[in-house]
Amino acid sequence: MEVGLESGIPTYSGGLGILAGDTLRSAADLGVSMVGVTLLHRKGYFRQRLDAQGNQRENPDAWNPEEILKPLDPQVAITIEGREVKLRAWRYEIQGLSGHQVPVYFLDTALPENSPWDQTLTDHLYGGDAHYRLCQEVVLGMGGIALLSALAPQDRIIYHMNEGHSALLTLSLLDSGSQSGVSPAPTEADVEAVRQQCVFTTHTPVPAGHDKFHWDLVSKVLGPEQADLLKASNCCFDGSLNMTYLALRFARYINGVAMRHSEISTGMFPDYPIDAITNGVHAVTWTSPPFADLFDRRIPEWRQDNFYLRYAVGIALYEIVEAHSQAKRALLAEVERQRGVRLPEHPLTIGFARRATAYKRPDLLFSDLERLRTMAQRVGPIQVIYGGKAHPRDEGGKEMIRRTFQAAAALGEAVRVVYLENYDMALGKLLCAGVDLWLNTPLRPQEASGTSGMKAALNGVPSLSVLDGWWVEGHVEHVTGWAIGDDSESPGDSFQDAASLYDKLERVILPLYYGKPESYAKVRRAAIALNGSFFNTQRMVSQYVTNAYSF
Ligand SMILES: *Cc1c(COP(=O)(O)O)cnc(C)c1O
């Protein structure tokens, strides 16, 4: 449903879309034969503006596909509520390192043949109500299959459902593969034929992340025949179609996005075998220019083969420190440009940027302002840079942004806190590389993987994070960064986590940063060598090829 290709194409909201883009980029680098299918989202997600109190205002982020993408010829039709809806696609080409191309098709219903309402179906990412969303998922799943068949009919295609949003594609496959046409009940053989073609990745243990549509709505949008087909496929519970169950039911391979996440998902869906392929990031995309230059000089093979980042252990510490200082200056220049605030270069600078939502607890750092003030005064100065959008209907997330502004006002000069507007890929790249410490405080076990800490690691920025998601695997205490709390199976506790966060900052990280800069630089270097070399999408896509896509 979303893909992060570049800042100028605002058809992503966060980690899920960025991961999709990074996956496609690495597939292009590796010469994997892959195409991406998404929606055009002419009005994007939204542009974020913040007033002086931290109230978020959302403006449409309209863009001109005409300037970046090529429209394709074939038009295909799908049926929504008994109406024929025409769609076409726009093509974006990702060029891999050796010239291999991976196209991305952006589906578009804004055609004059369609009703005015149908024309808006590919306007807003995650906008509108359940009805609008279900229609979008019909466009994505069923329209996607129709388009791919029209473009280049092929057998031996594997359909990788990146989250449940695209799961209606299984219905199209079932429909076209069924021996008896649209029969009231698919046979086991029909289901098995679809299963052999489908792979499903689940991305969140948070229940709100799993789409459900009321049965009456499904019947209305898809029509009674298709609805019966779904009903016969065991993916409807409590009067709703559950898109995750639809995908689970029709996938021959299922995975979560980190080891811990696959355990949690197995607990949620005990009837299905759920493997793990831990997420990564596209190393060349997320490495800041100063580190890319350094790696080009010292380990030139790193672009072709990210495992070479392991050899960052041989890079001199002063070179790592110098590259980081350059990245930090670039970030501070952006802070000054955007907020008019000139932050000094030396203080320990903490970064926190991700979707603003309650379970990520951006306010955990502000649990005890007095303690924060005191340690900044006694042990060494701290400054914090925030970023992140709240979904327009996530009131809890919006409250988190306001609280950050309140804390910033209360702390004043004692601990400088700035919140950057409109967190996007360009800002993410500057932020993850330019701070000294990447903070991550999700409430366990709700973080499936998280990827911004991986971007930070590539740039020699260690994490201070709750042991959830990828950090369970990437954390080596005092070597690649630091843990908040412990690794127990029990759910997180904000009181204990805050105490642990302050203890680590006050007793370990600040003394190291100010007292033993060389030791801090060693942590930077180990973050690159141990985590940059592994938590990348080159390794991840190779695992998908081996474990999920092979016939
Ligand atoms: C990397 C990135 C994310 C995802 O970060 P998480 O740590 O997974 O929450 C979200 N938004 C942007 C703009 C990013 O660059």
**Could you report the per-residue pLDDT of 476-529, keeping only the tens digit for each?**
999 999 999 998 878 889 999 999 999 999 999 999 999 999 999 999 999 999
Q: Helix, strand, coil shares of the chain as percentages rounded to 5?
A: 45, 15, 35
- pLDDT exceeds cutoff 70 at 124: yes
Q: Which atom of ligand 1 is nearest to the CA of 453?
A: 7
Distance CA 262, CA 254 (A): 9
* Same fold? 158-282+536-551, 287-535: yes
Distance CA 118, CA 113 (A): 10
pLDDT of amino acid 232: 86
Percentage with pLDDT > 90 across the chain:
91
Greatest Cα-to-Cα distance within the chain, rounded to the nearest angstrom: 77
287-535 domain in CATH 3.30.70.1350?
no
CB count, 10 Å around CB of 112? 6
Sign of CA dihedral 341, 366, 205, 476: positive
pLDDT of amino acid 22: 98
Q: Tell me the average pLDDT across 324-349.
A: 98
Asked if residue 291 lies in contact with residue 459, where contact means CB atoms within 8 angstroms, the answer is yes
- pLDDT exceeds cutoff 90 at 183: no
- pLDDT exceeds cutoff 60 at 180: no
CATH number belonging to domain 158-282+536-551: 3.40.50.2000
Residue with the smallest CA separation from ligand 1 atom 8 is: 450
Asked if residue 205 lies in contact with residue 265, where contact means CB atoms within 8 angstroms, the answer is yes
- Measuring CA to CA, which residue among 142, 164, 157, 242 is closest to residue 196? 157
Residue 466 bridge partners (DSSP): 484
- pLDDT exceeds cutoff 70 at 182: no
Q: Which atom of ligand 1 is nearest to the CA of 469?
A: 8
Distance CA 40, CA 136 (A): 11
Mutating to test ligand 1, I would choose from 23, 355, 438 the residue with most ligand atoms within 8 A of its C-beta, which is: 355
Confidence of residue 154 (pLDDT cuts 50, 70, 90): confident
Phi, psi values for residue 225, rounded to 5°? -65, -50
> Could you tell me the residue ranges of all domains in the chain?
1-152, 158-282+536-551, 287-535
- The CA 18 to ligand 1 mean position distance, Å, reads 7
- The CA 452 to ligand 1 mean position distance, Å, reads 5
